[in-house]
Amino acid sequence: MEDETLDLRGLKCPLPALMARRALARLPPASAITVLASDPLAVVDIPHMCGEEGHTVESVTRLADHNQFRIRRSA
């Protein structure tokens, strides 16, 4: 099964972190999601939310116009 990609480009803080949290809550434990976010504060907000919720940020890739986060839901 391919991981879900959540495209949140164009949304402003705090929406990317809130919507990523909601998407992670729907996933089965230990599954992964890719989140695309263009808001510059997402590089702070999304890892912070993951730390609070117990999820793992496996990677953050900075691209020309957005960041790509790979997040693993807590077990």
13 is catalytic: yes
Q: Which one of the listed residues 4, 9, 11, 13 is annotated catalytic? A: 13
**Cα-to-chain-centroid distance, residue 14:** 12
Look at the block and give the residue holding tokens 């510059």.
40
Query: What contacts 5, CB < 8 A, 6 or more positions away?
Result: 33, 34, 35, 36
* Active site positions, annotated: 13
